[in-house]
Structure formats: C-alpha cells, structure tokens
Amino acid sequence: MKQLVLGLMLFSALFLSSAWAQVASAEILGVDETRPHSVELEALRPDGSVGEVIIRVRALDGSGNPVAGAPVSWLVKNSKTTPAYVVGSSASMAPMLGRAYAGADLSVDGGVTDENGEAYLVVDARTSGDTRVAVNVGGMDAKTYDGNDMRIVWF
C-alpha cells in the first residue's frame, strides 16, 4: 500500500508539473516575408493562395521543453491604406476572422498552444501592403530570430 501511495504521489507530481509549466520564452518561427498579394476573393478565405502567410509561434519552458495549453493572442498592425485579412488560426479556420484597416490594430484570439507548444495565424492581402504581427504567448511577447515582431510586405 505504501508503494502504491508513493507511486501515485510521484505520478501526480510529474503530471502537475508538465500540465502547469510556465512559459519562459516564446519565439516566432520564421523571418519577415515579402510576397505577391492574392487576387481579389482569394484574400478573404484560407485557400493556400499566393499571398497567404502562415506565422507560427512556439512556447518553451525554462528547460527548453514545449509548453502545451498556453494562451495565445495576436495583434495585427497594418500601415497601408488597404486592409490585411486574418483568414485562419490554430483556434479557427473559419473564413475571414477579421481585417486590419490602415493605421488600425486587430486583436485575434489564438486559442492555446498544441502539444508541440505551437500555434499559428494565417494572414493575406489582396493589394500591396505592409503589416506587422505581434504575438503574446502565456504572458511572454514572442519575437522573430532577429528580435522583432513579424513583418509581411505584399507587392
């Protein structure tokens, strides 16, 4: 009986430590993108069109292990006169989750990280554009390899 209780205590400690892991760092997996924009209607839905950009983020704990279940929030900042479209995320692939107009910010709920500690956002544009995407994962601001928010330029 003593061994059973000790075994259950050890299992509980291991389970709780992995289930409640804190995000120590978050990184955007990728670099800035420059690409042609999608044609009119293709920019409004997730369809793999030429202008779609998938931005991935990963959350890690203090030991470098992925953190599952961390809340993700995205902020899309558009600096051009025409809108950028959010057409999907790891939380939802419903057609057009929102649009970021010129000079306006669009907040998008990104759900939570998966078992690999990752989440993603899909953005598109139907004309030339210049958009920055910021992401927060479990209270940590994620940055690209060079320490910036993600930037997408459509031509």
Residues of the domain holding 147: 23-154
User: Which of the two residues, 16 and 111, has the higher pLDDT score?
Assistant: 111
Inside any domain, residue 11: no
- The answer on pLDDT for 16 being more than 90 is no
Q: How much is the pLDDT for 7?
A: 46
Q: Is 10 inside a domain boundary?
A: no
Count of the separate structural domains present in the chain: 1
93-126 pLDDT per residue, tens? 877 889 999 888 999 999 999 999 999 999 999 9
| pLDDT tens per residue, range 64-85 | 999 999 999 999 999 988 999 9
Does residue 6 lie in a domain region?
Answer: no
pLDDT confidence bin for 18, thresholds 50/70/90: very low
Residue 2 lies inside a defined structural domain of this protein: no
Task: Output the domain CATH number for residue 100.
Answer: 2.60.40.10
Is residue 77 situated within a structural domain?
yes
Residue 32 domain flag? yes
As to burial, measured by CB atoms within 10 angstroms (0-12 exposed, 13-18 middle, 19+ buried), residue 55 is buried
Measured distance CA(76)–CA(66) in Å, rounded: 25
Closest CA to 118 of 57, 27, 54: 57
Q: Average pLDDT over the chain, rounded to whole?
A: 88
Only one residue has tokens 């420059």, namely 34
Please report whether residue 18 resides in a domain.
no
Domain membership flag for residue 4: no
